[in-house]
Structure 1
Amino acid sequence: MLYLTLRHYEYVCAIGRQGSLSAAAGQLNVSQPALSAALTRIEAHLGHPLFIRRRGAAMAVTPQGRRFIDEAEALLARAARIEDPAHPRPAARRLRLGCFVDLAPFQLAPALHGLRVALPDATVTYRADGFEALISAMLKGQIDIALTYDLGMDAGFARQRLFESHPNALVAPDHPLNEQGRISLETLTSHPLILSEEGLSAQHVLGLFRRKGLNPVVAHRAASLEILRSLAAHGEGVGVSYTNPPAAASYDGKPLVSLPIPDPEARESVVLARHGTGPADPLVAEATEVLSEMFRQD
């Protein structure tokens, strides 16, 4: 005998869409206490939480909750087709793509286009954010797969390498480094650096120096890539960035030179990452194959 009814499935899907019990209760025309009690009974029956409840914040969907909602929405769509074949509710497949913010201007639009062409029956949404925010979103089930650098993720994440990226030193045209034939981490230690304000990014770059026993001086921590490029173009120091836009000028039109830092240990992988190391959800597996074909550089 089945314990959960279609109404239970509607409850969970509404909470997932609205992100809060109060908004979902209003949509469903039930009281918030009744909805909360029903969700507690559903989770107790399933044996695991579907949402993470945090005071003063939106309810975050757990990975098990995301899978439950996807299957529940498909079940409700099938039920709607049985009840009213003339006006069926389309089955929904939803993919939530994450992208590291500095990669987004280059990879996000092609990724979205490629996914929508290859997976026309899926709704694809995206979130561009920093490393820690993307990792947190994957842990909470808010992002299914992320295009990012391989930084900050532990063994609980599955990764598929796409290509290697090397850092670049960004300087004004009259900077002394522009006259040197080869740039290395050692040569950079005698110049003030401009790094990203993003915690994991800055830690990674500084770690490259420290593993060689080098102690660079950091002049600025920039809140965005374009601020970093602008500071470097105005002679405020040497910008260090793995992301290298093709434009030879900053936003304000100041000329800028990009010098590769070829140290082998400084190379970093761009990966497709997801939380969990078991078999991927079928839609995530399809998306991984599509994006791998688009971006992989062997």
Structure 2
Amino acid sequence: MLRYTLRQIEYAVTIWDRGSVAAASAQLGVAQPTLSASLAKLEEQIGLQLFIRHHAQGVSPSPAGLRFLAEARNLLTHAQDLQRDMLAAGTAIEGQLALGSFTTIAPSFVPQLIKSFTSVHPKVTIAMAEGTQDELFDGLRGGAHDLALLYDVDMPQDFAVTTLASFEPHVLLPAGHRLTRLKQVPLIALKDEPFVLLDIAPSRTYFTRLLETAGIVPRIAFSSPSLEVVRGLVGQGLGYSILVTRPHGDHSYSGDALAVRPIADDVERGVIALAGLKQMRKTRLVSAFETHCEQYFRTLAS
């Protein structure tokens, strides 16, 4: 027999999300004493202290509480999914999907994915957040994201990864650079050139590894976590870059012409993937979005 109720789980997870009993009370429309009593009862029933109380500064989960709350969120999600299934007679896809995306991937693909998916499933809302790879990992583990769209590089073992597409990296040059006369650029031809690095994990590791595999120690002249700053620096003739993402139109924000050339060497491709926590059982909404992404990128490739 269960020692706790879904209502207690809902209250505890909301307190975790909001960071205090007062904020959870305002969101749920439930009196603070009721929430406090429910939390105390839950902790007594399961034999764990879920939260550390901070005087006038809310609460934070204890180490044991963090593990319990992560699983509790999973339980609550599937209870909500079951309820939607029953209300929709097992046919409709609805609810909110929290989607994280790597910063350089988001502008090129996420708006189209949101538009195409919600056109088919109008009862779905998608909450989108951009971030670095580490931020996306934290968001998935903490329950802020259901799924994350990112590059399949250095992926931890606790994530389930669905490969969506792979793209050849390219050399980005100023329009008047001497190497633009080549249809393909061998990496060795860049060994004495100043390099403009897209300095964001895992991109920095991936791009420097491509050069080092070709026997080149890159001469990093500039680095930036911004794709458009990198493109702007190249447009001003301050160096070359190697990128996977190619925005529509080969010009920087300031209007400088850019030249894109394929790499002549056989190099590691950039792989875009969809990731989620292995321990999280997929909801119907998550499974439907995953299938949609696979179809979208398959169509894009063809």
TM-score, structure 2 as length reference = 0.80
Tell me how far apart the structure 1 counterparts of residues 79 and 259 of structure 2 sit (CA, whole Å).
53
SS in 2 for 1:70: helix
- Structure 1: which amino acid aligns with 2:71? Q
1:14 partnered with 2:14:
yes
- How far off its partner does 1:268 sit? 1.7
Question: How far off its partner does 1:170 sit?
Answer: 1.6
Q: 1:25 to 1:157 in 2, by over 3 A?
A: same
CA distance in 2, matches of 1:210, 1:57: 47
Is the contact made by 1:172 and 1:233 (CA closer than 8 Å) also made in structure 2? yes
Q: How far apart in 1 are the matches of 2:20 and 2:110? A: 29
Given candidates 287, 291, 294, the residue that maps to 1:292 is 294
Deviation at 1:277, TM superposition (A): 6.9
Structure 1 counterpart of 2:23: 23
Does 2:250 match 1:225?
Answer: no
- Over residues 263-297 of structure 1, what are the superposed CA-to-partner deviations in whole Å (9 max), with x where a residue is unaligned? 33231211112121786333221111111111123
Letter of the 1:68 partner, please give it: L
Q: What runs of 5+ residues in structure 1 fail to find an aligned partner?
A: 82-90
Equivalent position of 2:210 in the other structure: 208
Q: Structure 1 vs Structure 2: percent identity of aligned residues? A: 27
CA contact (8 A) 1:16 1:69 kept: no
Query: What whole-Å deviation, never above 9, does each CA across 1:27-57 have from its counterpart, x for those lacking one?
Result: 4221475465345346x37x997x9999989
Question: Does the aligned pair in 2 maintain the 1:115–1:124 contact within 8 Å?
Answer: no
Aligned partner of 2:40 among 15, 37, 45: 37
Of 128, 131, 134, which aligns to 2:133? 131
For residues 56 and 189 of structure 1, what CA distance do their matches in structure 2 show? 55
- Give ranges in structure 2 of 5+ residues lacking alignment: 88-92
Taking the aligned partners of 1:73 and 1:289, their CA distance within structure 2 comes to 21
Secondary structure of the 2:12 match is helix
Cα–Cα, structure 1 residues 33 and 126, in superposed 2: closer, same or farther, change >3 Å?
Answer: same
Q: TM-score, normalised by structure 1?
A: 0.81
2:262 to 257, 260, 263: 260
Match of 2:75 in 1: 68
CA distance in 1, matches of 2:152, 2:127: 22
Is residue 13–residue 72 contact of structure 1 (8 Å, CA) maintained in 2?
A: no
Distance 1:20 1:205, change over 3 A: farther
Name the Cα RMSD after superposition.
3.6
Distance of 1:57 and 1:217 partners within structure 2 = 48
Residue 162 of structure 1 corresponds to which residue in structure 2?
A: 164
TM alignment of 1:52-201, pairs within 5 A: 63-73=70-80, 93-201=95-203
